[in-house]
Structure 1
Amino acid sequence: MKLESFEKTADQCVRHSNLISVCAYNGNKITATLQNSMLKSHEYIMTDHELVKSYFYKNNSVHLPLLTIAKETQLEEKLIATKHQLQSFIFQNLDPVVIIDKWDKVITVNAAFHSTFGFTAIEVLGLDASELPILPDDRKFEVILNRSFTVLGEKVKGYETIRKTKDGKVLQVHLSCFPLLDEKNELDGWAVIIRDITERKQAQELLIKSEKLSIAGELAAGIAHEIRNPITSVKGFLQLMQSSNFEKQIYYDIMSSEITRIEQILSELLMLAKPQAVHFARKDVMVLIRDVVTLLGPQATLNNVQIITDLKTELTQIMCEENQIKQVCINFIKNAIDAMPDGGNLTIQLISSKTQELIIRFIDEGNGIPDELISKLGQPFYTTKEKGTGLGFMVSKRIVENHQGTVNICSEVGKGTTIEVKLPN
């Protein structure tokens, strides 16, 4: 009993020091009762060769300090590895990265930030996120908006915006951000990744301009034919009036109407051909479609194609770049006309979806497109036309995607093709 009491006292003393005691006894010289008692009160026992766990131990609150230390060491090593990976991600990233703490102060920027925008880390560290010199004045609201998402633990998916360099140059960028959490899974700050897409956007603009000039050239024959008719009418009425001793108001009305039509067609052609600044504003898509139909009406007539408009919806205004949406409509209408070499009907529908999207459908009665070719549409220089470049569809798809919309194609060989454009309302 004295030996058992001594064991318990020794255990209590060393346990408070986060240690374990190991006592060695000759099993042949102590009683079985004492052995069982020690097996119940000691989590580990020492054999002649190793330290093993006691299967009779009842107090689960006692832990082996050596094992705890080992686990803590493993966790610390994992923490160091994770920290190293995060630093590598930040400083080796080819895109500018900005780390902002939970008080909205800039605490880290990488080398790509300096090479892209010209500002050194010394110039920006410690600044409030909204005071970053790369922010144009009219874009400061983005900081508040992005932070509101990260506070809720949400990522801000990439969106296109602008930032400025130290020398005043404006860059087109793709920006995304995400929250940074501490060991308690609480917000500890947020990271911003900025990708310079200026060259890519410039390349897209060149494609759009190239496609515009191509379209203008292709429409020239139809427009020349359409303008020749009213000019012939005006010329004939003028000759008739010169040889007549009296005036007829109807002649003036017809000439005025014909001249107005000429002006309308030429205005649309010039609007298409000349460079336009990208400016998003609320525009009525129904009006845009009617303008485009007026422009392409002559070409449709020359190809024995009748354009039917089915504009049912009342919600027709969207935020868009007017001339780019017109170009999308022109491209898809031209494709439909080309798909019907023997003539036919082209139906243009405008409806609203239940998800507040505006849907434009271009439905032709052409030869259709095989399923295996549909997936390839939109690739540069891939086309189903004998003399096409494939750029028209690609440019149109890019324009729609830049408006946060989508383009879908449904086609049946021998019956026709439907192109559906969805744009956010």
Structure 2
Amino acid sequence: MQLILGLVKSGFLEKLVSRLDRVEPEEIHQIVTRLIQEKGFLENVFEALQEGLIIIDPEGKIMFLNRAACQFFGITPENSLGEKISSKIRGIDTISLKRSKQAISRDIEIFYPEHRMLNFYLSPIDDPKNQELPLGQVMLIRDNTSSHAETQQNIESERLNALTLLAAGVAHEIGNPLNSLDIHLQLLNRKINKLAPGERKDLTEHLKTARNEISRLDTILKQFLNAVRPTTPSRSPHDLNAVLHQTLKLLEPEIASRNISVNLELSETLPKALIDPDQFQQVFYNLLRNAYQSISSDEGLIEIHTHSTETDFLISISDNGTGIPHENMGSLFEPYRTTKSTGSGLGLLIVRRIIREHGGEIEIQSQPEAGTEILIHLPHTAPRPRMLPAPVIDL
């Protein structure tokens, strides 16, 4: 703050010092009071800003930071003032700040205390007496997380529209030949069955391989179409806990074979949800399968929680598996992007599409080697338009 006052009042203080010997004590008291009041006024202005503000001295040390900057980077004035900014904000190079004589605008992604997309504008504070060395730097930080998310949603929407158009062509160009191949292989199988046992063995093996590959291609095609083709949920009131139990029953043999424990904390007062039960069984199936496939230890644990607020259902599925690397978190919902050796990369894309068609949203939190938590937010009813009150106009 001393740096700010020095910049704002440098001309005033020079005049004051030049005539200090002629100033009466009462006038000095008034001047000091005025400076204190103006210092408090400036601090209040800076604290009211939604943008983060940091003042840096020529050595790259933090001289002032407002409340918004503290919230963005998870720091406090007590442990930051007088410290080099590079030690408090990763990715900021103090040496580059010293050498920079021009304004800098950069985007930065941070993961703590919250995942945010920030833009900071850094401008040098010129010293009228020394043009070579600035008095310091002013850093203004804006939170672009929401606009970045909106841009990503637009990109994703355009991508899905392109995939939907592609799906129509794929269904015709690949689906029909696959059906034709399967029919001809059935005819071939009938003729092979009429051969002598010695001649039949090798041909039967080759035929089995061909039919398995056709079946695999057909499965991939159906997964692709289910992932991108718009569908309208057939909604009716259903118990989410019951759908979870049904899904767990389907997966019980494989979960038990891996010695994985399942801990259920399901709300007994959960109201019925307006959902498509088949689609939500697919959601739970994909998420639970991902959970137990990520667990490699003998003490595997999957925890499932359900809860209800006044407006939403909250469903949490967490595991103590290998977790997801930070560099993969941004591409989880991209088609055909998977960390599994045998995965199609369409599971999470299908899950999010179904949840969003029900008016909900999915949130994923993960740490490498510490596990993953999936949180589903689902509204009690389909969202309805709300009439806003007419604005009051003073004439």
Q: TM-score range by the shorter chain?
A: 0.3 to 0.5
**Larger RCO of the pair (alpha carbons < 8 Å, separation 6+):** 2
The TM-score normalised by the length of structure 2 is 0.38
The TM-score normalised by the length of structure 1 is 0.35
